Structure 1
């Protein structure tokens, strides 16, 4: 994730593990707080953070104000601390900060399964699919919800765990008799023929619907084949097989690293 560095940056960044990013300025810190409130823990503003603000950003007054209100350490105090950082950064307008305050209060008063569902959505948007899976699974343990099951199945597809995805889609179909999980099962069978759960339900799908799904899959496949990166790889293969093999090794290693980072 790339952030804008507005004020003079720190000599050493503040590492935020949940986002797996280095924060270099007060504006970047504010961006993380404002953009991802659902993953901000109740102890986010602590002495480690205030020390970094004082020593690395040379913002001793802000650090002192934050430490003054860190006594009780409950959710109300954390909200005040976050708002102080947002105001001091001059990165957001007062209207935006008021909107954040309202949303933050709501987050602290929603049911746990709803919060975990939102947490999963946030991690998915960030590309942190492993953590999204954990959050969706926790949400389902708290309360079974077919919408969350569909999201979890979709996340499994993203990390190519097709069997787990198929099992969930089938469970949703049995519960809801909805056509959407069957559509997903059909596409999984195209991506991974060994996962052929859809075959049990083909008799329940009319010919026109199957034709539409087939056309949809063909359209996506054709678009993927004409993707700029795919075309570059194909051109390289046509020019030199040896160069292609070397390039392929590098790309496979890169994709493996990206995949591991996502899960």
Structure 2
């Protein structure tokens, strides 16, 4: 494994909004760009970034060169890969491979690009932003895969009603067994028992029996989990301790959900 030393650390970080990331060096920036090419916004290499390179990194010659190229109307791809090369983070072969990937990305349809963007955001735990990208993709071109991804995103943002609507739509469209399974467990968690009985009545005999066993096994595991023991311990310490514990736990859950937006 090679050790890469940063040329300079920024006086103030550059905020890469799409990744919700503060960048402190060209190497960090190149890493983020190369690993999440689908998330690079249009015209990313702009005047604001150039002034950060000049003022915060002290890379005046390079920053001014980029500004000059922008003024001359240099193509977006050439600006981006000039920046990536300047970082020294990647080998020339790796840069060439990234350049080829960039061209493949921009040969995709708008719907495909939005979906791939959603996949990248989902992998980062940015479920709210992933959801927006999947919905954009679905607007351009509807298919079952995108409906499923929208449902999965709603599950992660705890919007169970909307998740159920997506899975119901997917089942009605494709008779997707996975969608029926999701509806089954959602109905166990937060819906009336018979809400999706029309869906379940169409399934092969014994399918819901296996799901019911899976549900019961999950409940048994939850009863002996460390989280359950923590709750029980706080409850045994009295009302005030338990209420304080509950407030902190609920706030931590809220923070977790906010972080998924």
Question: Which TM class, normalised by the smaller chain length?
Answer: 0.7 to 0.9
What are the within-5 Å matches in structure 2 for residues 111-190 of structure 1? 111-190=109-188
Offset of 1:13 from its aligned partner? 0.8
> Alpha carbons of 1:71 and 1:8: their partners in 2 closer, same or farther (altered >3 Å)?
closer
Distance in 1 separating the partners of 2:122 and 2:224: 26
Distance in 1 separating the partners of 2:64 and 2:193: 59
Distance in 1 separating the partners of 2:12 and 2:194: 52
**Structure 2 gaps, min length 5:** none
Offset of 1:48 from its aligned partner? 0.9
Distance in 1 separating the partners of 2:95 and 2:194: 50
**Structure 1 gaps, min length 5:** none
Q: Aligned residue for 2:208?
A: 210
Distance in 1 separating the partners of 2:33 and 2:176: 38
Distance in 1 separating the partners of 2:249 and 2:39: 32
> Alpha carbons of 1:24 and 1:207: their partners in 2 closer, same or farther (altered >3 Å)?
same
The Cα RMSD (Å) is 2.4
Q: What whole-Å deviation, never above 9, does each CA across 1:156-180 have from its counterpart, x for those lacking one?
A: 1222222222222122212212212
Offset of 1:33 from its aligned partner? 0.7
Q: Aligned residue for 1:81?
A: 79
TM-score (structure 2 length as normaliser)? 0.87
> Alpha carbons of 1:23 and 1:195: their partners in 2 closer, same or farther (altered >3 Å)?
farther
Offset of 1:12 from its aligned partner? 0.8
Q: Aligned residue for 1:44?
A: 44
Q: What whole-Å deviation, never above 9, does each CA across 1:179-209 have from its counterpart, x for those lacking one?
A: 1211111111122124854211222223432
The number of residue pairs the alignment matches comes to 258
Q: What whole-Å deviation, never above 9, does each CA across 1:5-39 have from its counterpart, x for those lacking one?
A: 94542121111222222111112111211121112
Q: Aligned residue for 2:89?
A: 91
TM-score (structure 1 length as normaliser)? 0.87
> Alpha carbons of 1:92 and 1:71: their partners in 2 closer, same or farther (altered >3 Å)?
same
Q: Aligned residue for 1:34?
A: 34
> Alpha carbons of 1:24 and 1:237: their partners in 2 closer, same or farther (altered >3 Å)?
farther
